[in-house]
């Protein structure tokens, strides 16, 4: 079984997706999740960018177990020394021990875009790699526009690779940057050059023809041992090769080694977590990990799958962490619920009536827009409330929220809340930066007398997603809230067509989860 190194560029290439704007905190969360699943390389970004400099500084404090953080940058500028190039200096300053350096492989780009000579471009590649190697950095070389360059001028495109190889690059990554190559072209070109390459080869494909995954697989079959892409296929224009699809295929269909085999079952969970952090919807029909990937609606299909799952399923959905759904019969796999229940010390038999009731309740929640992949705290509360294993810590009597814009332009938010704890009423009011912040403060003030440790909780992230943009202002929204208490962090979800109510649901779950967690300690 050949080992394929998985190189994730969600934090850089994925950040170029129209509509995605990662904060440094978002990038750290995603890096932690990618490390947990066992991705080999996580590209942190371009250290010449101020926000990415913050990321590289912050990531030093993270205790990553499996992944190596890499920095991305270009070869030196024309006609200057590598040691004087600001981009190369920032790559060293990032403290990343592995650098991904890109250079031009297409003579069109050399002459028309960076406007230098073909010889100078070769020098730029060689000088930059030698400079980084002397600084004791591992260098992976991204040959940008390699396939277009090879089709236009094969001799020169190959020269750029040989220059990088001679200078000390450990891996030569062949890039279909415009995403316009076909699988047969990828195969043909790699076959023509691979006998001349003595170091490892990799592949980096964009999806402008919808062929990024197919092209990546073709390259791997021809000898590439390193594949670059993004989770969920995020990326500029039509996106990059989708790593959740590639990893799933290599594991289920090709039996290549990628991430640790035991982690492949977390592909779906990881993809949806990254989706929620990115505030970007995964299409239901996404291969392998989409909600509809193993959903059966036609009566003939359902009947056949009940008799033999292979009739309409190319692989076991559990391999990638997905599950089978029968839409018309309201039947679905119960194992995901049973497995999560076990993690929460709740004994549940998948054949029991309780499991069936839970499944139906969960389906109803999902129909209304709830998703629990990135909100385990809400899922645990849902599970325990459904099984009647949860005793409320307080009862809400009511709340009121108001927002006012004053003459000086400042926004003023105020919330008042009344709760009952063990028969005792408690009223509290608070101001905040916004209605959710005011509600959070008012609730914690009301609870402080009964549960002093509630003051440890603070909100660290708040995200809103419109579930059906066509509905305009009347659309349902899904709110995700992340909270911390100095010891742990957790995420909760709320859904409603009123954004304040959706926020309250997520906020209430956050506080209830904190109280539940502390009661177990």
pLDDT in tens, 460-494: 888 898 887 666 666 889 999 988 887 778 889 99
Q: Is 56 left (phi over 0), alpha (psi -120 to 50) or beta?
A: alpha
The whole-angstrom separation of Cα 52 and Cα 38 is 22
Phi, psi of 484 (to 5 degrees): -140, 155
Residue the block writes with tokens 């926004």: 411
Running DSSP on this structure, what letter comes out for residue 30?
Answer: H
What would the pLDDT profile of 424-457 be if each residue is shown by its tens digit? 999 999 999 889 999 999 999 999 999 999 988 8
- Hey, what are 411's tokens? 């926004």
Q: Show Cβ contacts of residue 92 under 8 Å, excluding neighbours closer than 6 positions.
A: 132, 135, 137
Q: What values do phi and psi take at 313, rounded to 5?
A: -130, 125
Task: Identify whether the C-beta of residue 29 lies closer than 8 Å to the C-beta of residue 22.
Answer: no
Arithmetic mean of pLDDT over the chain: 90
Confidence (pLDDT) at 521: 65
pLDDT for res 89: 97
69: Cα separation from own chain's centroid: 15
For 389, the token pair is: 């294993």
Structure tokens at 480: 């995700």
Task: Taking residues 250-261, report their average pLDDT.
Answer: 93
pLDDT tens for 193-250 read: 999 999 999 999 999 999 999 999 999 999 999 999 999 999 999 999 999 999 999 9
For the ranges 111-120, 137-146, 382-391, the lowest mean pLDDT is seen at 382-391
What are the structural domains, with CATH classification, of the chain?
5-278 (3.20.20.70), 294-333 (4.10.430.20), 395-520 (3.30.160.270)
Burial class (CB within 10 angstroms; exposed 0-12, middle 13-18, buried 19+) of 115: exposed
Within 8 A by CB and 6+ apart from 408, the residues are: none
- Of all residues in the chain, what percent carry a pLDDT higher than 70? 93
How far is the C-alpha of 392 from the C-alpha of 385, rounded, in Å? 9
Q: For residue 342, is pLDDT > 90?
A: no
What is the pTM for the complete model shown?
Answer: 0.73
Better-scored residue on pLDDT, 266 or 375: 266
Find the angle CA(81)-CA(86)-CA(88) to the nearest 5 degrees: 75
Calculate ∠ Cα 97-58-246, nearest 5°. Answer: 60
Task: Tell me the β-bridge partners of 229.
Answer: 8
**3 state SS of 435:** helix
What pLDDT, on the 0 to 100 scale, is given for residue 327? 56
Question: Residue by residue, what is the 3-state secondary structure of 124-156?
Answer: HHHHHHHHHHHCCCEEEEEEECHHHHHHHCHHH
Q: Sorting pLDDT into bands at 50, 70 and 90, what band is 330?
A: very low
Nearest to 387 by CA among 413, 358, 419, 361: 358
Strands 98-104 and 68-74, bridge-based pairing = parallel
**The predicted structure's pLDDT at residue 329:** 33
- pLDDT of the residue at 299: 62
Question: What backbone torsions phi and psi does residue 409 show, to the nearest 5 degrees?
Answer: 90, -10
Supply the pLDDT for residue 42.
Answer: 98
Distance CA 323, CA 102 (A): 40
Is the CB of residue 214 less than 8 Å from the CB of residue 183? yes
Q: Name the strands in the sheet holding 424-432, side by side, starting at the edge strand that comes first in the sequence.
A: 395-405, 411-421, 424-432
Closest CA to 8 of 227, 268, 267: 227
How far is 337 from 386, CA to CA, in rounded Å? 12
Select the more confidently predicted residue: 468 or 415: 415
Tell me the chain's radius of gyration from C-alpha atoms.
26
Helix, strand or coil, per DSSP, at residue 387: coil
pLDDT of residue 339: 58
Report pLDDT for 324. 80
How confident is the model over 75-87, as a mean pLDDT? 96
pLDDT at 331 over 60: no
Handedness of CA 381, 387, 392, 396 (dihedral sign): positive
Any residues with CB less than 8 A from the CB of 210 and at least 6 apart, and which?
A: 238
pLDDT of residue 276: 85
The predicted structure's pLDDT at residue 338: 65
Hey, which bits of 343-499 come out as E strands?
Answer: 395-405, 411-421, 424-432, 458-466, 477-484, 489-496
Residue 343, helix vs strand vs coil: helix
Residue 341 pLDDT exceeds 80: no
């Amino acid at each position: 079984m050949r080992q394929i190194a998985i190189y994730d560029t969600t934090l850089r290439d994925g950040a170029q997706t129209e509509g995605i704007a990662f904060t440094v905190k978002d990038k750290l969360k995603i890096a932690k999740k990618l490390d947990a699943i066992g991705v080999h390389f996580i590209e942190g970004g371009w250290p010449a960018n101020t926000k990415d400099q913050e990321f590289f500084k912050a990531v030093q404090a993270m205790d990553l177990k499996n992944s190596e953080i890499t920095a991305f940058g270009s070869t030196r500028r024309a006609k200057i020394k590598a040691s004087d190039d600001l981009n190369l200096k920032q790559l060293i300053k990032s403290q990343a021990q592995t650098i991904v350096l890109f250079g031009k492989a297409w003579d069109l780009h050399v002459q028309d875009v960076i406007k230098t000579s073909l010889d100078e471009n070769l020098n730029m590649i060689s000088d930059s790699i030698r400079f980084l190697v002397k600084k004791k950095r591992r260098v992976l070389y991204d040959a940008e526009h390699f396939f277009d360059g090879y089709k236009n001028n094969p001799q020169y495109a190959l020269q750029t690779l040989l220059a990088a190889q001679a200078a000390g690059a450990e891996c030569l990554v062949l890039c279909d940057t415009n995403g316009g190559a076909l699988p047969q072209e990828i195969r043909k070109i790699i076959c023509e050059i691979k006998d001349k390459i003595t170091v490892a080869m990799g592949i980096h494909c964009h999806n402008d023809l919808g062929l990024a995954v197919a092209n990546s697989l073709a390259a791997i079959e021809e000898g590439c041992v390193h594949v670059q892409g993004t989770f969920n296929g995020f990326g500029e224009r039509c996106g990059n090769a989708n790593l959740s699809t590639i990893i799933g295929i290599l594991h289920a269909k090709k039996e290549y080694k990628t991430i640790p085999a035991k982690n492949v079952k977390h592909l779906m969970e990881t993809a949806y977590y990254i989706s929620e952090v990115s505030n970007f919807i995964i299409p239901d029909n996404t291969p392998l990990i989409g909600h509809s990937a193993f959903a059966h609606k036609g009566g003939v299909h359902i009947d056949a799958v009940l008799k033999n799952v292979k009739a309409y399923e190319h692989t076991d959905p559990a391999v990638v962490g997905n599950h089978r759904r029968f839409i018309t019969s309201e039947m679905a796999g119960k194992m995901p619920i049973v497995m999560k229940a076990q993690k929460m010390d709740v004994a549940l038999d998948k054949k029991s009536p309780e499991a069936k009731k839970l499944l139906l309740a969960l389906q109803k929640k999902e129909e209304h827009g709830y998703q629990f992949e990135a909100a385990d705290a809400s899922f645990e509360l849902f599970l325990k409330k459904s099984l009647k294993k949860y005793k409320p810590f307080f009862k809400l009597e009511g709340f009121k929220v108001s927002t006012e814009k004053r003459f000086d332009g400042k926004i003023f938010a105020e919330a008042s809340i009344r709760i009952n704890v063990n028969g005792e009423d408690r009223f509290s009011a608070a101001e905040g930066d916004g209605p959710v912040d005011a509600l959070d403060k008012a609730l914690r003030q009301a609870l402080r007398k009964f549960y002093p440790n509630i003051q440890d909780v603070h909100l660290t992230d708040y995200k809103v997603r419109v579930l059906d943009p066509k509905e305009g202002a009347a659309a349902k929204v899904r709110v995700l809230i992340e909270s911390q208490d100095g010891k742990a962090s957790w995420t909760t979800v709320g859904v409603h067509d009123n954004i304040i109510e959706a926020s309250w649901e997520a906020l209430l779950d956050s506080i209830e989860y904190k109280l539940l967690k502390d009661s177990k300690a």
